[in-house]
Chains A and B, each alone.
Chain A
Amino acid sequence: MLELQNISFSVTDDDNTEKEILQNIDLTIEDHKFIAITGPNGGGKSTLAKLIAGIFKPTSGRILFDGMDITDLSITERAKMGISFAFQQPVRFKGIKVKDLMSLAAGKETSIGQACEYLSEVGLCARDYIDRDVDGSLSGGELKRIEIAQLIARDTKLSILDEPEAGIDLWSFSNLIKVFEKMRSEADRTILIISHQERILDIADEIAVIKDGRVVAFSKKEEILPELLKGTESCIYYQV
């Protein structure tokens, strides 16, 4: 179980004014749930995901994972406890190959067969990719799929995905939905996914709406999604 208790996060601008990105976030994410976080751009969704992964430290509040206070733990410690993170914009490297990243993600040297298993789940043919450098020679969509393949290889209790649909073509998107459905069907998995996509929101158990740094709604998909689909004109969450 992941608990965010009264989390706030602020940054200091160039002109020394403090800007609040997240304010008093309280959120409890039960085990084995598929949770989607949505809301307008700039509302603080990615920041929240990065706070959970340990990339940012909250200004105040506590984060508990399986009852343990992880607020002061490093990214590495949280990763080892079972938190995975897929970046919205995957990081590029010079000289690190797809196979290297897959091995690091799996925590052991992966065979071509294993790498093939992970990569084929996201629609990539391992033979064409394992020896490719994780650099600008790969397209944005390829990088995103490799990013998600790493989550599959990591096989951790909590997977956080920051807008996995961004940069993915329509055909691949349908396959990705299947990947997420498969991930959620596996026991002992909790998925936290930041998305604007109706089809992703539609497979979620619960949806949290974050706007202007606050959780304006958090409930079952059946309650939240119809309201969101009314559009920005009439959706009550956008009027908050």
Chain B
Amino acid sequence: MDQIQKDLLAQVADIHDVPEGAYNIRANGKLGGRNTTANIDIVTKEDKPGIDIIIKPGTKNESVHIPVIISESGLKDLVYNDFYIGDDSDVTIVAGCGIHNCGDQNSQHDGIHTFHVGKNARVKYIEKHYGENEPNADGKNIMNPTTIVEIEEGGYMEMETTQIKGIDDTVRDTTAHVRGEGSKLVVRDKLMTHKDQHADAIFNVTMDGLDSSCDLISRAVAKDDSTQTFTAHITGNVKCASHTECDAIIMDNAKISASPEIVANDLDAALIHEAAIGRIAGEQLIKLMTLGLTEEEAEQEIIAGFLK
């Protein structure tokens, strides 16, 4: 693995060496390294590109890293990764994709991740998307992550998804079926776009489990001429609770559109949605300037806090 690939790994998965526990590194569309453990198996799919990650029931405090890195310009990569998270397990899954584009061709990674969260299982899923270009390399960096989640009785899934830099075009599509009694989905989505980048974030959550719940918070910053759309459809078909929050800062000539939809099909479905889009409040800038920060430093501090 060369230095560029090592740097990408550090960016997207915080990996500086061989990770502990189970891992599968995909580099330029090929297997770059794999490790399995007694409780976590990783198997290459035979019918299509991708892997199955099988976590045995009762696996506790283990992690799986499955980063994808692309350093060849013009590569178009598509993978299907299926996660089978056994009953009563408690694991952390770190995914993420980094593109280093050295040429004028578009590089693209489309990852379709499907999670089957077993009964009373807990999973924390961390996904980071990052792109960079060499000077004068105009190739676009494109990522289209699709995430499908099914949560059984008492299951809990927490998604921490981040795209901060360097992705020119993305459709981030998440569909979750919170179907088990008492199951819960938590999403913390952070997104920042620059220049003429575009991002679509789509969330479809259906709650069919009695006393199931969903807590989705999206924080977005659009700078320069970038554009973003945020769409959330939350449906409660039984006694359940959900809270969605879409909070966005626009700067320069950027544009953001948010379309929240909440559908209650049961008298005891309690669904809340909050959405706010606006520029950085002038009083916040002034406050930090009275502490001695310049306007630019104040802006950076406010955005860093907002996306923290």
Chain A interface (Cβ < 8 Å from any Cβ of B): 53, 55, 74-76, 79-80, 84-85, 87, 90-91, 93-97, 100-101, 104-105, 107, 150, 154
Contact of B294 with A by CB under 8 A? yes
The answer to whether B286 and A75 have CB atoms under 8 Å apart is yes
Q: List 23 A-B contacts (CB under 8 A).
A: A74-B289, A75-B289, A75-B290, A76-B293, A80-B292, A84-B290, A87-B287, A91-B284, A91-B287, A93-B284, A94-B305, A95-B219, A95-B304, A95-B305, A95-B307, A95-B308, A96-B302, A100-B301, A104-B301, A107-B292, A150-B291, A154-B291, A154-B292
Using Cβ atoms and an 8 Å threshold, which residues of chain A touch B295? 76
Give the number of residue pairs across the A-B interface with Cβ within 8 Å.
56
The answer to whether B289 and A79 have CB atoms under 8 Å apart is yes
Min C-beta distance of B249 to chain A, whole Å: 9
Using Cβ atoms and an 8 Å threshold, which residues of chain B touch A75? 286, 289-290
* Nearest neighbor of B289 in chain A, beta-carbon distance: A75
Min C-beta distance of B301 to chain A, whole Å: 7
* Nearest neighbor of B303 in chain A, beta-carbon distance: A95
The answer to whether B290 and A100 have CB atoms under 8 Å apart is no
**If A91-B284, A94-B247 touch, does A100 touch B305 (CB 8 Å cutoff)?**
yes
Contact of B186 with A by CB under 8 A? no
Interface of A, helix, strand, loop or mixed by DSSP? mixed
- Interface flags, B228-247, vs A, CB<8A=1, else 0: 00000000000000000001
Chain B interface (Cβ < 8 Å from any Cβ of A): 219, 247, 281, 283-284, 286-295, 301-302, 304-308
The answer to whether B305 and A93 have CB atoms under 8 Å apart is yes
* Nearest neighbor of B249 in chain A, beta-carbon distance: A94
The answer to whether A53 and B290 have CB atoms under 8 Å apart is yes
Min C-beta distance of B133 to chain A, whole Å: 29
The answer to whether B306 and A105 have CB atoms under 8 Å apart is no
A75 to B287, CA, bound (A): 9
A205 to B307, CA, bound (A): 46
For the complex with contacts A85-B290, A91-B281, 16 further pairs of A-B residues with Cβ separation under 8 Å are A53-B290, A75-B286, A75-B290, A76-B292, A76-B294, A76-B295, A93-B302, A94-B219, A95-B304, A95-B307, A100-B305, A101-B291, A104-B291, A104-B292, A104-B293, A154-B292
Min C-beta distance of A103 to chain B, whole Å: 10
Of B219, B283, B294, B305, which is in contact with the most chain A CB atoms at under 10 Å from its CB? B305
Min C-beta distance of A116 to chain B, whole Å: 19
Using Cβ atoms and an 8 Å threshold, which residues of chain B touch A84? 290
Using Cβ atoms and an 8 Å threshold, which residues of chain A touch B247? 94
The answer to whether B301 and A96 have CB atoms under 8 Å apart is yes
Min C-beta distance of A52 to chain B, whole Å: 11
Min C-beta distance of B256 to chain A, whole Å: 16
A18 to B308, CA, bound (A): 44
Using Cβ atoms and an 8 Å threshold, which residues of chain A touch B291? 79, 101, 104-105, 150, 154
A150 to B304, CA, bound (A): 20
Using Cβ atoms and an 8 Å threshold, which residues of chain B touch A96? 301-302, 305
3 A-B pairs with least C-beta separation? A95-B305, A96-B305, A91-B287
The answer to whether B286 and A95 have CB atoms under 8 Å apart is no
A85 to B289, CA, bound (A): 10
The answer to whether A104 and B288 have CB atoms under 8 Å apart is yes
Min C-beta distance of B125 to chain A, whole Å: 21
Using Cβ atoms and an 8 Å threshold, which residues of chain B touch A76? 289, 292-295
